[in-house]
Amino acid sequence: MTKVSQENPIAIALHGGSGTILPSHLTPELEAAYRKSLQEALDFGWNCLAEGGSALDAVEIAAKSLEDCPLFNAGRGSVFTANEEHEMDAAVMCGRNRAAGAVAGVKTVRNPVSLAREVLKDGRYVFLAADGAEAFADSCDLERVDPKWFFTEERHDQLKAAREEAGMVMDHDGAQSTKFGTIGVVALDQKGDLAAATSTGGLTNKQFGRVGDSPVIGSGTYANNETCAVSCTGYGEEFIRSVVAHDVSARMEYLNEDLDTAARAVVFEKLPKINGIGGLISVDAKGHVSLPFNTEGMYRAWRTSAGDSGVEIFGE
């Protein structure tokens, strides 16, 4: 069994999207599959932290596990745009030095979160999009795939259903969309560094070129060692307008709120004022986690060196 240092706390939390997630929407087999995938990703990230790995490594490892799972709206399970393509977005951020990397409109990189990590490591830029992101990927040692690799029949059915509903569909809303979700991971390592990662395929039937909050530093993804690390999930436009991820950190810094108070204020008080729906996962510099959401459910999992852990799907 992996041993965890008792000198400094470690913690990790992850999400697989929020939305209309009800017990009646999932068969026992599908619920078990979700829980298994969430637990596997959690274990990958936790083992990295427990062995002394960095928070950045942990969030990338866990996020890649979720990207490779077709149950979630990221990587392999990404949704279709209105013109029947996949455009994937991702971001990572390091709380120690506020270094960040983000990509949008990626089409051939198997794990967009790893491309975002490469942007962070390169250091010249923060955000690369579309053809520019693909060109940058050409210089990286990352696995590339034919766009057909991202195709799943369930996602194609979801696109057809969204067209019939004449609109865009969030991760877990709509007739054919109760099975999928944006993914995100936050972590605290033994050195006291925080990190966050978020990855998504966006909204089903979205206008091609649309970018949501996930890769936007401060809106969908944020990390600061002085406060917290945050990854969001929901309707991206409202999360961008509210600068949600940074607002949690700002409330902790300027109002001296604890993590849970700040996170819940943003999700339950600020977002509803502009009809914002969704949730977030967060961890602070002391290893506390907070995972509030204002939807019926959010796929989520967490573990801390204080002994707190769980894998949950539905509302409390």
- Where is the binding site for substrate, in residues? 210-213, 233-236
Cβ-contact 223, 186 below 8 angstroms: yes
* Residue closest to 230 by CA, chosen among 216, 244, 241, 213: 244
Please tell me the number of Cα atoms within 13 Å of 130 on its side-chain side: 5
Nearest-angstrom CA–CA distance, 1 and 306: 17
**182 a catalytic residue:** yes
**Helix and strand totals (H; E) in the chain:** 8, 12
The beta strand positions in the chain, using DSSP E, are 11-19, 88-94, 100-106, 127-129, 183-188, 194-200, 221-223, 228-234, 278-284, 289-290, 297-304, 309-314
Task: Give me the torsion for CA of 159, 60, 214, 70, rounded to 10°.
Answer: 10
**Six-digit token string for 49:** 């932290």
Nearest-angstrom CA–CA distance, 100 and 98: 6
**Catalytic pick among 108, 182, 221, 227:** 182
* Residue closest to 192 by CA, chosen among 130, 120, 117, 284: 284
Which residues are marked as active site?
182
